[in-house]
A and B are shown apart, each in its own frame.
Chain A
Amino acid sequence: MNALLSVIRRDLLLALRRKGDALTVLFFFVIVTSLFPLGIGPEANLLRKIAPGILWVAALLATMLGLGRLFAPDHADGTLEQMALSPSPFGLLVMGKIIAHWLTTGMPLVALAPFLGLLFDLPADALFLLTLTLLIGTPLLSLIGAIGAALTLGLRGGGVLLSLLVLPLYVPALIFGAGAVEAQIVGLDASGHLSLLAALLALAVFFAPWAATVALRIALE
């Protein structure tokens, strides 16, 4: 447990020293969402209708953008190999890195989402639900993304490849996350979506760090 916490602390410190990286992801999220009204037109009804989908897709892309930094810097300076050889279980350390990654990219997205929702004139309860789905959903995105980041570690053209691997696996999260908000807007019960999203998160917490660890060991061989 100590090892987990120290990895998280270390990664957060590193992220604090390089604030630019985390901010880039946030700016990307803001810019992509504000491009949609410019492309589609300012009609409020339409924007309200497509807002959950747009915000979710933008959050998904922003998370993916941050995945490149999950393992690559540690791989480059050899820290990752040290971790793999260290006495504490490697899986736990990987989990710590994923949590730290979520704290620096996922959580800011969640915090920012309600404000961006205001740009689309979402009602208060929909804003709340949007934030809630992103709160459950972004850890899921980080967990699944970690597998892709581990598989593409150190490959040329890794970024594009990563998106090809990870985006199809993001589909269920997108459907349940954006679907919950949409259901709420049209006056349906959103709890089914939410519990399915939570179930996916529970599954991913169990399997994704393990798969990512195996993938990292393969990449380090």
Chain B
Amino acid sequence: MSNRLINWFKYASPQSFYPLAGRMIPWFWGLAAIAFAVGLYIGFFVAPTDFQQGEGYRIIFIHVPASWMSMFIYCVMAFWAGLGLALNTRLSSMMAQALAPTGALMAFLSLWTGAFWGKPMWGTWWVWDARLTSELILFFLYLGFIALTSAIDEPRRADKAGAILALVGVFNVPIIYFSVQWWNTLHQGASVSLTRAPSMAMTMLLGMLVMAFAFWMYSIAVALMRVRAIILEREAHTDWVKQLPEVQGAR
């Protein structure tokens, strides 16, 4: 038991995490590639045409996974940032900063695909629907986190300030979602329910889940890549970075 505990702390240092992340990245890319191939195949060739929405419904194969990921990454980011604040571990704060741009990208993709889904289904690019509006505010929260951490030059202060913002944000997300929902039911004007027919074909659900898995693997892979770059930037002055083969090697 104690052995395992020591192991975990060993990987909590940037120096030992850097090569570990490097070994893991190809695996996650591989899994992402396989899952994307399978998910797209199911989404385009196995899942039947929706009898109400025609072929347009196939957008949900990226819309729903992107929305899930955008919300999930925010929670993970707040978790790592909070851990970095509480335990003063540098690596977890770096992890939080590596996740933020990917999360923002997912929120953006969710909004973009939501608009492209809304145009044929609702006849308009944008509807002030509760989910779309909350997603937009989530996107703003990501931008705020990125802007704050990049405006502070001193890395440790950036970590801690970002952690507070992320924690305040993560407690606010449910409140914001609830308030937007409330606001939306008050103004019935444009409300069109996003809920699909209850009998969603099995293959559609399967395709969505496989695509969600692919988005997961992609996010992990790209976040690990970014955290490696952040480690190099932050630890540039240390000896272990100077000894790395990629620094020592060919010029």
Contacts and interface: CB of A to CB of B under 8 A. Distances in A.
B176 A218 contact: no
Contact of A168 (B141, B148, B157, B164): B141
Interface in B139-157: 140-141, 143-144, 147-148, 151-152, 156-157
B209 interface: no
Interface in B141-182: 141, 143-144, 147-148, 151-152, 156-157, 160-161, 164-165, 167-169, 171-172, 175-176, 178-180, 182
B175 A172 contact: yes
B179 A171 contact: yes
A156 B179 contact: no
Contacts of A168: 137, 140-141, 144, 169, 172, 176
Contact of A175 (B152, B165, B168, B182): B182
- By DSSP majority rule, is chain B's interface helix, strand, loop, or mixed? helix
A218 B137 CA distance: 26
B1 interface: no
Nearest to B178: A172
> Most B CB atoms within 10 A — which of A147, A156, A168, A215?
A168
A169 B186 contact: no
Given A152-B148, A171-B176, A218 B168 contact: no
A152 B144 CA distance: 11
Interface string A183-221: 100000000000010001000000100010011001101
A164 B168 contact: no
A179 B185 CA distance: 11
B144 A221 contact: no
B137 A155 contact: no
A143 to B, nearest CB: 11
Interface string B99-137: 000000000000000000000000000000000000001
Contacts of A172: 172, 175-176, 178-179
Contacts of A32: none
Nearest to B186: A179
Interface in A143-175: 147, 151-152, 155-158, 161, 164-165, 167-169, 171-172, 175
Nearest to A144: B168
Interface residues of B, number: 28
A151 B165 contact: yes
A214 B157 CA distance: 12
Contacts of A207: 171
A29 interface: no
Interface in B177-195: 178-180, 182-183, 186
Contact of B148 (A151, A183, A221): A151
- By DSSP majority rule, is chain A's interface helix, strand, loop, or mixed? helix
A44 to B, nearest CB: 21
Given A169-B169, A218-B161, A182 B144 contact: no
A102 interface: no
Contacts of A179: 182-183, 186
A176 interface: yes
A218 B160 contact: yes
A219 B162 CA distance: 12
B157 A175 contact: no
Contacts of A171: 137, 176, 179-180
B180 A147 contact: no
A161 to B, nearest CB: 6
29 contacts: A147-B164, A151-B148, A151-B164, A155-B152, A156-B151, A161-B147, A164-B140, A164-B144, A165-B148, A168-B144, A168-B172, A169-B168, A169-B172, A171-B179, A172-B172, A172-B179, A175-B182, A175-B183, A176-B179, A179-B182, A182-B186, A196-B179, A207-B171, A211-B167, A214-B164, A215-B161, A218-B160, A218-B161, A218-B164
Going nearest first, the 7 A-B pairs with the smallest beta carbon separation are A172-B179, A168-B140, A218-B160, A165-B144, A175-B183, A175-B179, A164-B144
Given A169-B172, A215-B164, A221-B157, 6 more contacts: A164-B140, A165-B144, A165-B147, A172-B175, A211-B168, A221-B156
Interface of B: 137, 140-141, 143-144, 147-148, 151-152, 156-157, 160-161, 164-165, 167-169, 171-172, 175-176, 178-180, 182-183, 186
